[in-house]
A and B are shown apart, each in its own frame.
Chain A
């Protein structure tokens, strides 16, 4: 099972990096969303995917799944939510002010 999810994470990373290298801004943002999915799946995988009960204390059950990676992922998810929403608003403003959403055109030496 770990092998399959590792491959999935790899595919997510590959598509994310392909999208990050595009010119259109919205594609780049999709790339950042994909890379965070890849990283979160990787944390889950790296905490081992052994079968067990969800980590809620119930009497008589002893085989729980590892709760730590789940807490780490939850933290990381809200952080990347925050950053992604900021990025979307920033991209909206930047493309409006600069009249383009093409990264190739978003450069220049006005401030040199």
Chain B
């Protein structure tokens, strides 16, 4: 049964390899992609059910016992994140045939897509720091391929910057692993966590922790290190932007959550207080960016940054409410960001522009599109019955318990401004005279809307049915706050 843990890595990997051979047969590729992503989704669903029922699955690859081989740890957190990843992948697989990818589908779009899923799932499951680096590179390599696919002038320019910043932070990751190996003599996360407690000079561990935080913060686009994100996320096709916005930054924030709840927990008054400051600044600067532009794609891309800020706020306060809020918000945000990127892609394609100043009156032509945008804006900002509300409520409650009043106020104001930035798209793009957009032809968009509607339905379900999901998330939060359970489950079997 422990082989279940490797399936979320193996299935997309095999799918990618199979699809390489059929790259010229676009119709076959589309069918196979849908089929494989559904298989992967089904497996992930079964694994999540299994893990929540029976506890963590530990897989020692190649029968080498824990600290000596690479281990895969499928605990509750990894399982639900893998499930969310597969939900998003399936939605994107069903959106891609209509997304206007044109020739890109022949030039290996689908293999890249599955390699990206392989990397993301692997990064969620692995229990080894260097293996995490390798899976980071797998997903980054796939993302380099995807971001430059098509080869437009602007795309080449922005992907160059994206590649350079990621290469730099990857090399810093290697450096941080080297330092950590010198201090504790292992790269297995459970054993690092065990040995870190015994290290006499705690100062060096804190330094390495902050270096690792710098690496993950670059990938996750936190406050001082977010400058590369907005422009590079809007240049590729909407379906690729959606995958990036939903998955890549979230892998970074997941790595912070994992390392700073498992390994670097000895000096929380320094590291975790810094997180709270960074959370506040990320929220402010991200939302300022979202308000500063009239490009609808850029508005959504900037909205990633305050969301990451909210998640790191929960890691910073490090109490049960904060952590469960972080996990809830992480899942909510992965789903809603995909829906929003896909939706904005549809809007930009029907309006023929992504500039808000040139739009108006779209609601007369596409009423369903307008109301979907309105609904997703409400979900994103966290209006009560929807999923964003539960996550934010838990996060702010957690921050309130720690006496961080300022951050609570910043969080609430940020939510207001996030809502404003989405409603701005609605007001300027959808309201107004019917005549403003007379030049547009009515395109069929039903194929594009099905995945978006499914994602939004799921998002609403996460909010309305919170009582179903919350107990699991609460138990994962208690599990994360006690690193002994993780260490024992990996090393003492």
Residues of A within 8 A of B (CB): 20, 25, 28, 32, 35-36, 38-40, 42-43, 45-48, 68-69, 72, 75-76, 79-80, 82-83, 86-87, 90-91, 93-94, 97-98, 106-108, 110-112
Contact = CB atoms under 8 A, between A and B. Distances in A.
- Name the residue among B148, B167, B234 with the largest chain A CB count within 10 angstroms: B167
Given A39-B171, A72-B187, 20 more contacts: A20-B168, A28-B164, A32-B168, A32-B171, A35-B168, A38-B175, A42-B179, A45-B178, A47-B178, A79-B137, A83-B163, A86-B141, A86-B144, A87-B160, A87-B164, A90-B160, A93-B151, A97-B151, A110-B153, A112-B293
A69 B130 CA distance: 11
**3 A-B pairs with the lowest CB-CB distances in the bound complex, closest first:** A46-B182, A94-B156, A46-B178
Contacts of B151: 93, 97
15 contacts: A32-B171, A35-B168, A38-B175, A42-B179, A46-B182, A79-B134, A80-B171, A87-B167, A90-B156, A93-B156, A97-B153, A108-B154, A111-B354, A112-B293, A112-B295
Nearest to A36: B171
B298 interface: yes
B179 A106 contact: no
A59 B461 CA distance: 64
A28 B165 CA distance: 11
Contacts of B163: 83, 86-87, 90
B168 A47 contact: no
Contacts of A35: 168, 171
Interface of B: 130, 133-134, 137, 141, 144, 148, 151, 153-154, 156-157, 159-160, 163-164, 167-168, 170-172, 174-175, 177-179, 181-182, 187, 231, 234-235, 293, 295, 298, 354-355
A35 B173 CA distance: 12
A106 B295 contact: no
Contacts of B141: 82-83, 86
Contact of A76 (B154, B174, B298): B174
Contact of B164 (A32, A38, A72): A32
A93 B149 CA distance: 12
A75 B153 CA distance: 33
Contacts, number: 104
A76 B137 CA distance: 10
Contacts of A79: 134, 137, 170
Nearest to B133: A76
Contacts of A45: 178
Contacts of B182: 46-48
Contacts of A80: 167, 171
Contact of A94 (B160, B174, B175, B298): B160
B174 to A, nearest CB: 4
A85 to B, nearest CB: 11
B177 A107 contact: no
Nearest to B140: A83
Nearest to B148: A90
